Every structure is written in structure tokens, then in C-alpha cells.
Amino acid sequence: MQGAILVLSGPSGAGKSTIINNASENIGEYYFSISTTTRKPREGEKNGVDYYFVTHEEFEEGIKAGEFLEYATVHGNYYGTSLKPVNDALSQGKLVIFDIDIQGHRLVRAKMGDFVTSAFITPPTLRELEKRLYARATDDTSIIERRVENAKEEIKAIGEFDFVIINDEIPKASNQFATIANAARLKQNSDELENFVKFWQN
């Protein structure tokens, strides 16, 4: 069984992690791709669980060595996806879930297009997003304002995604996510289709 890639993007505060956690029992075996970053851990975050935390120097060495499927600079810090665990999970037939930004989606789509299904997750309005960002109280006002400005740009790329999930109610959004995740497993890449045609003709 071939693996598949499901890319999730959307504004910070859209509820992507909550939706994945709520739907986890309904999407089969999956690997959640942990990003590598140069930003400092937030309170409660653990290395190797939430992110792989590295220095700028270590990250740039990884870039030179071709170790990243995609990477980008966000708010002055590097964020990227290591290739090895992704390839290992795909070879085991797992669904690989990415939570990455718009730039990351474009890069992954360009490199692994046939394997990729994507969904953009967003609150119903910008005002609701602001409310959630302030309510979670993990960032100061200047960072929240920057996230809101980023969200205004991110929403413009919504048409680049296969699906859109409007996270108004967590149970409903989680069910939609599970449907998309299971559909991603059924998507055939061009090599699989070519092999099936040969098999079918024989």
C-alpha cells in the first residue's frame, strides 16, 4: 500500500491541531510530520514532540545537505520539513499529515504533486480569528497583530487548495477533516495508475 500526503494550511489559531486530535481515531494510521524550527520553544512545548528545535547554524547546514522537503522563513525564523521521516512513513503506507504555511504547500505540491491532497482550515471570519488568538494568550499583542496581517494574505491563496474547512464548530470540522483524510488515501498517483493499467490489460 502506498502512502499519501495531506497538507493542512491556514492561519495560526484556526484550530488545525485540535481538529487533527479530534479526528485521529477515524483516519487510520498516520504520521504527523513534525517541523524543524529555529524559534525558541513556547512554554510546555517539547523537542521532538511539538517541533525539532535547532539553531540557525544547524538548520542552514541541513539546507546545504538537501535534508529538507520544504522550508521557509516566518517571523525571522526558519521552519522546515525533514525528508527522511516523511519517506519512511510513505514507504510504510501511512498517511503523512503536514501542518505548514502557504509557501510550504506550494513547495510540497511542486515536489510531490501526485501524492498530495490539501485542505485550508480557517475560522469563519477574521474577527473570529482575532478573538481566538487573544483568548489563547500565548503571544503578546505585537505578534498577534502580525499573525492577523499574515492571515489576510494567507486567505488569498485559498483557491490553491483541494478543500476548505471552515472551523466554526469543532465536531463538524473534525468530521470533514476525517472525510478528506480518508479520501487522500484513495487518491492514486500516476505510477500507480500506470501499473494498474498494465495489470488490467493482462
**pLDDT, tens digit (0-9, with 9 covering 90-100), for 21-54:** 999 999 988 999 988 999 999 888 899 888 899 9
Q: Quick check: is 66 in a domain?
A: no
Q: Quick check: is 165 in a domain?
A: yes
> 127: pLDDT confidence band, cut at 50, 70 and 90?
very high
In angstroms, how far is CA 198 from the centroid of its own chain?
34
d(CA 56, CA 78): 7
Residue 72 has pLDDT above 70, yes or no: yes
Q: Quick check: is 136 in a domain?
A: yes
Residue 193 has pLDDT above 80, yes or no: yes
Q: Which of 82, 100, 95 is nearest to 14 (CA)?
A: 100
Q: How many domains does the chain have?
A: 1
Determine the structural domain holding residue 109 and report its residue range.
Answer: 4-33+94-201
Is 166 within 8 Å of 125 (Cβ atoms)? no
Mean pLDDT of the chain: 90
Residue 2 has pLDDT above 80, yes or no: no
Q: Quick check: is 145 in a domain?
A: yes
Q: What is the mean pLDDT of residues 124-138?
A: 89
* Residue entry with cell 505510477: 191
Q: What is the mean pLDDT of residues 113-122?
A: 91
- pTM of the full structure: 0.82
Nearest-10 Cα torsion for 159, 93, 114, 171: -10
Q: Quick check: is 127 in a domain?
A: yes
Q: Quick check: is 89 in a domain?
A: no
Residue 189 has pLDDT above 90, yes or no: no
Q: Quick check: is 85 in a domain?
A: no
Percent of the chain, pLDDT > 90?
Answer: 56
Q: Quick check: is 50 in a domain?
A: no
